[in-house]
Structure 1
Amino acid sequence: MASTTSPPPDEPAIIDMEEFGRELIARRAAAGSPTVPRNRGTRRTPSKRALLAAIEKAGGRW
């Protein structure tokens, strides 16, 4: 269902990845370069575990 409060954009937003990277670095520096913990994955479903195992077996690393 379409939003009734926001008009649809004329064009899709285009993200400049170089600019985004600079802004991200600046935001992290302003926040004191926090270390964000990774999800330990203790509540993964069997299908998610199988998917991650298949990715690892194929040489990938998520």
Structure 2
Amino acid sequence: MASKTSSPETQPVIDMADLATCLAARRAKTGLPDLPRNTGTRRTPSKHALLKAIEDLGGKW
């Protein structure tokens, strides 16, 4: 079902590849280092199971 609050005429479509390129350029310009990933020390058992299932299917979360 289409959203009733927005439409393609009012909301621009964002190309994810272009967004990633833009973000990488902005990070390089500011000189910010890559942020460390979440250590995951406070994840619930269900979250651990979900991430393992994604990994088992070949995904990278």
- Cα-Cα RMSD: 2.2
Q: How many percent identity over aligned positions?
A: 55
Superposition TM-score, scaled by structure 2 size: 0.63
Question: Number of residues paired by the alignment?
Answer: 55
Q: Which runs of 4+ in 1 moved over 4 A?
A: none
Superposition TM-score, scaled by structure 1 size: 0.62
Structure possessing the higher radius of gyration over alpha carbons: 1
Gaps of 5+ in 1: 1-7
The 1:53–1:20 alpha-carbon spacing in structure 2 relative to 1, beyond 3 Å, is: closer
The 1:31–1:60 alpha-carbon spacing in structure 2 relative to 1, beyond 3 Å, is: same
Gaps of 5+ in 2: none
Partner of 1:39: 38
